[in-house]
Amino acid sequence: MIELTVPISEEQILSLHAGDAVAISGIGTTGRDAAHKYLVERLIEGKRPLAAEDQRIYDELKKIYQGGVIYHSGPILRNDDGRWSIVSSGPTTSIRDEIYEDKVIAHFGLRVVIGKGGMGPRTLAACREYKAVYVHGIGGAGVTNARAMVEVLDVFKKEEFGLPEAFWKIRFDRFPGIVTMDAHGRSLHEELDKSFDERLAALL
């Protein structure tokens, strides 16, 4: 298993290939549909100047995402005397964010997108141009994944988006996954889709 620690360099990303198993450590955030819509429509393409709270979040995410990680997940959390912790956090379906992810990678300097099910040609092109990878998280293993999300450091947009859709700032410790889209233009999802289509055509 290849160890990746945030901030992740371009050289590390280029050393990865589809099929590599990785363990990711360092600080990143969760982010689902509402988070991606907010990132693009408010923070990247929204009117300037930003409102004070949006500017604060933008500045914080800029630091987190440069060479960093976003995890497509709506975690289940527990609050003990004001302190949040992750109970379970499985990857959610990534393709819903295909219309946003390339812009997020380009603008914020993301190196790793973690999710489930893969993404499309826009994200793959962004991975190649800006040197990023898509990592397929382990589905159906939310509790196991949560053990690698060792500390909740902050949360953004919780009141507006709700717990699952908020940005949870997390310290990851050897979070496991498989590179399925690399910075060399290869997508295992695309290859498998083509293989399935060919087998189906042969059967029919």
The residue extents of the domains of the chain are 2-203
Interval 130-149 mean pLDDT: 94
Residue 190 banded pLDDT, cuts 50, 70, 90: confident
pLDDT at 81 over 70: yes
Q: What is the mean pLDDT of the chain?
A: 94
Residues labelled catalytic? 36
pLDDT at residue 139, as a whole number: 82
* Three-state helix/strand/coil letters over the chain: CEEEECCCCHHHHHCCCCCCEEEEEEEEEECCHHHHHHHHHHHHCCCCCCCHHHHHHHHHHHHHHCCCEEECECCEEEEECCEEEEEECCECECHHHHHHHHHHHHHHCCCEEEEECCCCHHHHHHHHHHCCEEEECCCCCHHHHHHCEEEEEEEECHHHHCCCCCEEEEEEEEEEEEEEECCCCCEHHHHHHHHHHHHHHHHC
CATH number assigned to the domain with residue range 2-203, chosen from the 4 options 3.30.1020.10, 3.40.30.10, 3.40.50.1240, 3.20.130.10: 3.20.130.10
pLDDT at residue 200, as a whole number: 47
Interval 169-182 mean pLDDT: 97
